[in-house]
Each structure stands twice: as C-alpha cells, then as structure tokens.
Amino acid sequence: MVAKAETSEIRLHRLAEARVAIEGVMPQIDGGRFPAKAVVAEPMAFEADIFCDGHTPLQVVFLWRPKGERRWEETPMRLIENDRWRAFAEFPENRAYEYTFMAWPDRFRGWREEIIKKHGAGQSVSLELREGETLLMRTAGESRIGSGGDRTALRAVAQELRNAHDDGDRFAVLMSDHAMVLMGRCGLREQATRYPLVLPLVVDRERAAFGAWYELMPRSQSGDPDRHGTFDDVIARLPYIHDLGFDVLYLPPIHPIGSANRKGRNNSLIAEPDDPGSPYAIGSKEGGHDALHGELGSFDDFARLVSAAREHGLDVALDFAIQCSPDHPWIREHPEWFDWRPDGSLKYAENPPKKYEDIVNVHFYGDALPSLWLSLRDVVLFWVERGVRIFRVDNPHTKPLPFWEWMIGEVTAAHPDVVFLSEAFTRPKMMKRLAKVGFQQSYSYFTWRTTKAELTEYLTELTTTECRHYMRPNFFVNTPDINPHFLQENGRPGFRIRAFLAATLAGNWGMYNGFELCEAEAMPGKEEYLNSEKYQIRAWDWDRPGHIKSDIRFLNEMRRDYPAMRQFTNLTFYNAWNEHILYYGKRTSDLSSVLLFAVTLDPRDPQGAHFEVPLWEFGLPDHATLEAVDLVTGRPFAWQGKVQHMWLDPHDRPYMAWQVLAPQVRR
C-alpha cells in the first residue's frame, strides 16, 4: 500500500508541475509520424498555443537539435496574439533535425509588472521589494541557465542589492533594464513544461525547394534524326541550357532498351528495324538499371557529362523507373520478382485502355521481399556514387508506400543531399502521402489548372494549408507524356502564359525540350505529342521562328536575382477586377524584396483591369505614392494611389512583372 501511495503522489507532483498548456503545434505532421521539411539557412516559422493559469507572464523557447545529438539549441518565441506564440529558426546543415517547445512562468517579470502597477498607484511596495530581492538573490546563487558572462553579471547585480541603503536604491536596481534582461536569460525555470513530443524535421539543400528543370532526350541531341545522340552531344548542349538559366538537367532513362515487343513510332505495336524503342522499356542482354545504353556512350563519357554539367551550374537528374523490358536480366536472375500468368507467360504492364507489351512490372512482396527492395536501393546508390544527386521517380504511386519510406530514408541517411521528385498524377491524398514518406518534390495538378478560380484555389491550398510543411510542388509545363490542350490550342501566347505562371508561382518549375519552340503538334484528340521522342529520334532547330527563349531566360534570371522568388509559401493573391487576369505577389518578410505579377489567362484577346497596389503592406495610406520598376523593360515609375489600371495583350506581352521599392529602399 505504501509503494502505491508513493507512486500516486509522485504522479500527482508530475502532473502539478506541468502547469503550462502547450497545444496547437505547427508544424506537426500526423502527430509527428512524418517530418516537416525546411531548407538550409532559410528561416522557418514554428508556432504553438501556449498559456497558463492566472496572469503570470511566460517565457517560451523553441528547442531544436540535429538528430542524434544531446544538446538542445534554444530560440526565444514571441507572443503573437491570443496565446499564440511564434519563433523563426534557421538550420545550418542539410540533415535530419528534431524539435519541441518549452515554457515556464516568468516570475521576475510577473513580479515587475505587479510592482509597477502598485508603485504607479502610489501604494507602498516595501514588501514587494523584499520579494523581488529574494527572487533575484536566489537566482544569482542557484541558476545554471544562461552564459557564464550573464551569470557573473547577475551576481554583480545581487551585490549591488546587498550594498543598497534603502528602498529607493533597491527599487532602482531591481527595476533596471539590465536586471530584467539578466533575469530573463538566467531565470530559474521552475514549473517548466515541455511539449510531450519530440518532432522530426528534415532540412534539405536549396535545390530541393528551388530550381528550374530542363528535360531532354539524349538520343535526340545529335542534330541528325538518322544519328543516335551521345553524352558528348548532350555536353555540347550545356551552354544553351545554362544560357536559358536552368539549374537541373533531367534525363529520362539512359539504360539499355529491350528488343522484345519493342514499340514503333507513335507507340505503334510494330517496330521497324531501325526504331530505337522506348527508353522506359529498360533492360536487355547488355544490362539493366545499372547499365548504360551503348549508343549513348561509356561510364567515362557519363562522368564527363556530370562534371561538365556541374561546371555550368547544373545538377544532373536521372529517371528512376521501376519497370523492365521482357529482356531485362532480372527476369532470368530473379523470376520471383515478377508476376506470371497461369500459362507461364509474363504479365505485361497495363493501364486500360493502354497496353505496354514492351514493359513488365515487378511486385514487392512475397519472395521479392527483401531482395528486390535491397536491389532497388542499391541501384539508386550506384548512380549516387557516379555523381547523381537528383532522381525523378516514374509513377511512384503504383509502388508500395512503405518501400518509398524505407528506400528514401536509407539513401538520404547516407547522402542527405539526394533529392527525389515524385512523378505521380493521381489522387490528392496519395500525392500528399508520397511527400510525407520522403519525396522532396512532387508533380502537381498545375498542368490542368488554367482559370483564375482554379489557380487561386489550388495555389491557396498548396501555400496555406498543412501540406505546405511537407509538399513541394514542381510546376512542369509539359512532359514527354503530357502535351496539354491549353498549349495545343493557344499557340505562342499560350506557351508564354504557362511559362510565366509556372516560373513565378512555384519554387520549382520545369519544361521538356521543345516547349521553348512552342512545339504542340498532338496525337488527334489526346494530350500526347505526335512523333514523340519516346519512340523515335528527332532533330530540333533551336532557333526556329516563334520561339520564346527570351521569355524563359528573363524568368529564370528574375528567379535567380530576387530573394522573394526563392520561396513558395510567401505567395499572396491581390485584387484585379477581371476574371481573365491573375494578379499576385511575393515578398520577403522584411520587405527588402517585393515583386508583383500580373498575367492574362486569355491567350486570344487583350484584357484590361483595375487593380489594387498593396500600399497597406508598407503601412501607407490609400493616397500614397509607391515607386516601382518594370522588370521587363527596366523602366522605373511610380503609382499614385491604391487603385491603378493594367492592359495585357497576349500577342504583345501577356504578363507584367514589377519590383516594388519599399519607402526606405531606392534603386
């Protein structure tokens, strides 16, 4: 009975000590099941509702540390309103972290607030001064909080109190700002409450959150449709890609291509002898996912490509497609990894009504676990060892979520700088779950959001709801698989509009080569390219009339030059009174970089609109003047008053981009 009573009493004391309530923590992904995401050296906000009984003020800190280390770093939190506290923290390394929150009653500040009221009311504060003196003396003698210099300074203040001759001297010492600061830093943390969960955080390198992707088919880079391109041909294209301002060179599969059931041009079931086949039909007698297609070159050639790309400021991204041609060595070596029909034949990949006779899928369970999982992880590590740090993953939503969580965790534990892009155009919850389990970037529905209402609603979801803490969309304007109807139907203005939207709305955006040439020839009635490079070698005239290279170059230069562009969730939509004009802005928290954008969504007819200049962002009245620069022309000008007018002609210039000069900033 005694032991039970003691246990109950200890439990009561522990409950009583947890006097501060901490709830409403943000971010907290599925109760801490998955990590939130941050970027190295980029401030990130952390918030919580924190409060206590009575009127005693609180001290609140945000605690964080690299995962696996013992010592916590502390960042003070600031009260926003209604018991909501916020801290901004920056993390110095690309690695895993963890964080939590702690708060305690600030007795000295509470005492100070009380004595100020009494003293101001003309009441005697003699006893209160004794209380304050006792609190400071005890803190100076017992505190182990704060720096050694602060504790020494606090002991000096205690000595001043001992030397005080009267209440007037004591009041002066105790009420000094110096004493207040030192007690804040060194105060005893009695009845401190820590949030019960330690939450995970992944801090990625900048390229995970900000970058411009350029996709090309290496075999089409020779300039001759009758000659298979090589890695050297791709190297020759690097100055062009660099000049357009891209950060990532993305290559579809570069592995040997199977011969069995090879597809012909335009996805024909019958291939001609010289048809190269789809690069997604991976594997032949020459090898599989850890081999190179012989006509592209050797591993030495590939190493030179990676090195040359790096010299041009480009990361090389590879496609990781977990599928095999019927000729893949794995089928012979590991038949247990595949599905077999009752008649003994392989089960081909299907997506009715589409049929992929040149592809078979692996399965992940039964006898394939764990050997297949380990082999796929090792394929990624194989390419990581050869300098690849970014992988675009084909159709990850058709593979098990536990596999991705395990595999990405294994790779990034050893190589935190590796980035995975999820190519999943599927149900919203599945897309978000893939981001939660580890994918640093995600394809999105941007391709099919074309109206003002659709774009506003979708971007508001991505930038303001919980998914902003773990899902980073990559706005691809086209892909080898997707030739959007908007591009097919709207000519050069349509391409300029979609490029502007993708590059200014998203942190990450991408395009597949040919977009800059306004290539839109489509399979009748489909969102697919006619004469697709997936099934044939093509030659491109990179200077053919009607290209939009200057637009793309301008967009990527603007993204690079202005800090406001390097974030995604700082997007704000503003009023423009025309349903065909989207008007929005991005700004840094200190207003040192503020950009406004307007784009017509009508690729056919000119559109005008009255719009609001966000004078309120700078604390200015509605009649104030705000200086700005037209970033397209470089022309400085000034807006006088909140309501202005714009005119956008899609055949001239379908967009506007303005740098707003804050009142204290002059160009």
Q: Which residues are catalytic?
A: 394, 423
Q: Per this entry, what is the length of the chain?
A: 667
Residue from 511, 513, 512, 532 nearest 521 by CA: 532
3-state secondary structure of 496: helix
Q: What angle do CA 243, 247, 250 make, to 5 degrees?
A: 105
Write down the residue that tokens 């697919």 correspond to: 528
Residue type, 627: E
Q: Which two tokens stand for residue 511?
A: 């395009």
Radius of gyration over every alpha carbon of the chain, rounded to an integer in angstroms: 31
Q: Which two tokens stand for residue 266?
A: 């335009």
Residue type, 453: A
Strands in 419-423's sheet, in edge-to-edge order, are 441-442, 419-423, 390-394, 315-320, 248-251, 211-215, 508-512, 474-476
SS3 letters across 627-654: EEEECCCCCEEEEECCEEEEEEECCCEC
- What are the CA-CA distances from residue 532 to residues 216, 480, 537 (Å)? 12, 7, 9
- What are the CA-CA distances from residue 103 to residues 66, 108, 194 (Å)? 21, 15, 7
3-state secondary structure of 424: coil
* 166 CA to centre of own chain: 60
- CB atoms under 10 Å from CB of 545, counted, come to 8
3-state secondary structure of 279: coil
Q: If you write DSSP's letter for every residue of 242-267 in order, what string do you get?
A: HHTT-SEEEE---S-B--TT--BGGG
Helix (H) or strand (E) holding 201: strand 199-204
Q: Which two tokens stand for residue 484?
A: 């959007």
Distance CA 293, CA 311 (A): 24
Contacts of residue 440, defined as CB under 8 A and 6 or more positions apart, other chains included, come to 37, 204, 208, 209, 419, 420, 421, 472
Residue from 328, 310, 60, 15 nearest 187 by CA: 60
Q: How many CA atoms lie within 13 A of 435 on its CB side?
A: 28
Distance CA 570, CA 564 (A): 8
- CB atoms under 10 Å from CB of 142, counted, come to 10
C-beta separation of 98 from 201 below 8 A: yes
Burial of 136 per CB tally in 10 Å (0-12, 13-18, 19+)? buried
Distance CA 59, CA 181 (A): 12
Q: If you write DSSP's letter for every residue of 47-112 in order, what string do you get?
A: EEEEE-SSS--EEEEEEEEETT--PPEEEE-EEEETTEEEEEE---SSEEEEEEEEEEE-HHHHHH
